[in-house]
Amino acid sequence: MAQFANPILPGSHPDPSVCRAGSDFYLVTSTFEYFPGLPVFHSRDLVHWRQVGHVLDRPSQLPLQGVRASGGLYAPTIRHHDGVFYVVCTLVHGTRETGNFVVTATDPAGEWSEPHWLPEADGFDPSLFFDDDGRAWWTATREIQDGRTEIYLREFDPESLSVAGEERVIFRGALRNSRWLEAPHLYKVDGRYVLVCAEGGTDFEHSVVVAFADEVTGLYRGSLLNPVLTHRHLGRAYPIAAAGHADLVCTQDGQWYAVLLATRPYGGYYYNLGRETFLVPVSWESGGPVFSPGTGRVELAYDVPDLPAHPWPDIAETDDFSSPELDPAWMFLRTPETDFWSLTERPGHLRLRVRPESITDLVSPSLVVRRQQHQDFHASCVLDFSRAWPSEAAGLVLLQNNDHHVRLLLGSDRLVTLVRRVGGQDELLAKTEVEDGLVRLGVEARGQDHQALVAVGEGEWEPLGEPFDGRFLSTPVAGGFTGVHIGLYATSDGEPSDSWADFASFTYRTLTGMDGE
């Protein structure tokens, strides 16, 4: 029997939610302070996924200006009903709009509506449930005190996109004194209502719990088997940790699966890749879901679902910027307030305007990023930056957040510098002068051992400085909820500038045939 490899979406793809429309599956994940927000993935076999766009790709939809690191978009839910797709989500710590909202589309790869904000619906981690009697329901999480939370339910009107009616608290956790009961999703299986939630926080203690009721409004009683999935009892050396935040989907042939988040620590309990999306089979016994039957753990490989295999074309390792639009894998840090990039001013190049904004601040700098997706990787760019003035620099960054990142930049006097920022403090690790012409900047990682690379023109790669430890780029050190993003960057460090940096290409590839070997 053929098998698929987990995670199905490697790199920072947390809080997955999935729905089915006919024979097509669609999945969205959290994106926090990155723009565009909420990537949309499409699959026909639950194994092979292709990004087809974003839910929030217009500045009018997503006001992220000034949002703190790991603020922004939390825990979306996607659902399909009567030909319409709905996404509900929470914008956390917004400096303009904030709170819960709903958007709709008839084509998930097309244009989504402007957000309909729901000030009457407090809390976070919202979800929708469409019952077979024609009524729809909203569930969400509300914090009571110090991480103690509860799940509430209200009726949802798909026509007016609003919640109304009596509010009912339907669940307060599976374990006594439980913390961070969240991500509530409702299903109806064999006439019984099933509530699936996360519990225990989103790190090592993460878990999946379930509760049942005969009526949608409750009373919901926790399963005697709770938690029905967790890895916290397996120890921090286990290759998969923090399993939780599950959403269920039933195939057109009646098979059940769950998408969920988990982490893959390496070099100790450090996970630079952030929280990733995994797929596990689900069976039903005595009216309740059994996750990963036979093992009760999230495995690195399973038999493929009994669906027609539908792989998508391979993604090229090198982006030569020949397309008129950026690949959907690229994102910006917060919502840009100006057009700082172009693919047309110099065809075959990504041109970034050199602007005063810096990645050390809570702004939207001249930066495009994509996710680190492997423990062993090579990332590099080809840069034409021939007119740099003092204070100006451009190049490659490994970004965890504004206070934890690596900058490998070409500046004035043809000086390449390697700077590590930890806890908000910069440290110069190495520098070298390079000749005029195109410069190639790169980083290679073997686990947590990272090596910066420099080359001129078609010359051989040369190491810049000594290898450095990448553990400071992991969530357990840097905090927050995101993984590492690798980006192309230009800045004048607070000074005015009319310069630009031209990137001829960006390459990202794994350095192992099977990641983690």
- Domain match, 169 and 204 both: yes
DSSP class of residue 213? E
In the chain, % of residues over pLDDT 70: 99
- Which whole number is the average pLDDT over 437-453? 98
Domain boundary among 257, 277, 303: 303
- Domain match, 268 and 325 both: no
Under a CB-based contact definition with an 8 Å cutoff, are residues 367 and 488 in contact?
yes
Query: Which tokens go with 299?
Result: 């495995």
Which residue(s) pair with 505 in the sheet? Answer: 382
- Domain match, 293 and 325 both: no
- pLDDT at residue 293, as a whole number: 98
Domain boundary among 303, 334, 363: 303
Residue 118: name the closest of 83, 167, 81 by CA: 167
User: Is 182 an annotated catalytic residue?
Assistant: yes
The radius of gyration of the chain's CA atoms, rounded to the nearest angstrom, is 23
Residue 311: inside a domain, yes or no?
A: no
- Which whole number is the average pLDDT over 499-508? 97
Name which of 55-64, 111-120, 173-182, 484-493 the model is least confident about: 173-182
- pLDDT at residue 517, as a whole number: 37
- Domain match, 379 and 436 both: yes
- Which whole number is the average pLDDT over 463-476? 98
* Block residue for tokens 């299986």: 189
Distance of CA 237 to the CA centre of its chain: 24
* Block residue for tokens 């793809």: 13
SS3 state at 233: helix
Residue 372: inside a domain, yes or no?
A: yes
Query: Which tokens go with 233?
Result: 């009892």
The 10s digit of each residue's pLDDT in 176-233 is 888 999 999 999 999 999 999 999 999 999 999 999 999 999 989 999 999 999 999 9
- Domain match, 138 and 175 both: yes
- Domain match, 297 and 322 both: no
- Domain match, 243 and 126 both: yes
DSSP class of residue 325? S
Q: Which of 15, 45, 125, 199 is catalytic?
A: 15
- The H or E element containing residue 79 is strand 72-81
Cα gap 265→511, rounded to integer Å: 18
Residue 409: inside a domain, yes or no?
A: yes
SS3 state at 227: coil
Looking at the 3D structure of the chain, how many domains does it have? 2
- The H or E element containing residue 377 is strand 376-384
Under a CB-based contact definition with an 8 Å cutoff, are residues 212 and 195 in contact?
yes
- Domain match, 357 and 450 both: yes
Cβ neighbours of 7 (radius 10 Å): 25
Under a CB-based contact definition with an 8 Å cutoff, are residues 501 and 351 in contact?
yes
Res. 514: pLDDT tops 50? no
The 10s digit of each residue's pLDDT in 345-370 is 999 999 999 999 999 999 999 999 99
Res. 44: pLDDT tops 90? yes
Q: Which of 45, 182, 357, 392 is catalytic?
A: 182
Q: Fill in the amino acid letter for 406.
A: V
Query: Which tokens go with 270?
Result: 């450090």
In the chain, % of residues over pLDDT 90: 95
Q: DSSP labels for 105-153?
A: ESSTTSPPPPPEE-TTS-SEEEEEEE-TTS-EEEEEEEEEETTEEEEEE
Cα gap 208→182, rounded to integer Å: 10
- Domain match, 351 and 489 both: yes
Under a CB-based contact definition with an 8 Å cutoff, are residues 427 and 419 in contact?
yes
First to last CA, the chain: 22
Res. 516: pLDDT tops 60? no
CATH number at 346 reads: 2.60.120.200
Residue 236: inside a domain, yes or no?
A: yes
Residue 94: inside a domain, yes or no?
A: yes
CATH number at 53 reads: 2.115.10.20
Q: Who's near 268: CB < 8 A, 6+ residues apart? A: 471
Strands (E), 254-357: 256-263, 276-285, 288-291, 301-303, 318-319, 332-333, 341-342, 350-353
The 10s digit of each residue's pLDDT in 290-337 is 999 999 999 999 999 999 999 999 999 999 999 999 999 999 999 998
Cα gap 119→380, rounded to integer Å: 45
- pLDDT at residue 513, as a whole number: 61
- Which whole number is the average pLDDT over 471-487? 98
Residue 515: inside a domain, yes or no?
A: no
Which pLDDT band, with edges at 50, 70 and 90, does 439 fall under? Answer: very high
- Domain match, 251 and 336 both: no
> Checking phi first, is residue 284 left (phi over 0); if not, alpha (psi -120 to 50) or beta?
beta
- pLDDT at residue 54, as a whole number: 98
Residue 490: name the closest of 388, 418, 419 by CA: 388
* Block residue for tokens 């004048």: 492
Q: What secondary structure, in 3-state letters, does 384-402 show? A: ECCCCCCCCEEEEEEEEEC
The 10s digit of each residue's pLDDT in 385-433 is 987 889 999 999 999 999 999 999 999 889 999 999 999 999 999 999 9
Q: CA-CA distances (angstroms) from residue 142 to 16, 146, 206, 266, 429? A: 20, 11, 18, 34, 45
Q: DSSP labels for 435-481?
A: -SS-EEEEEEEETTEEEEEEEETTPPPEEEEEEEE-GGGSHHHH-SS
Q: Fill in the amino acid letter for 54.
A: H
DSSP class of residue 362? S
- Domain match, 468 and 407 both: yes
Could you list the residue range(s) of the whole structural domain that residue 506 is in?
Answer: 318-510
- pLDDT at residue 388, as a whole number: 80
- Domain match, 341 and 439 both: yes
SS3 state at 61: helix
Residue 484: inside a domain, yes or no?
A: yes
Residue 207: inside a domain, yes or no?
A: yes
Cα gap 381→366, rounded to integer Å: 16
Domain boundary among 303, 334, 357: 303
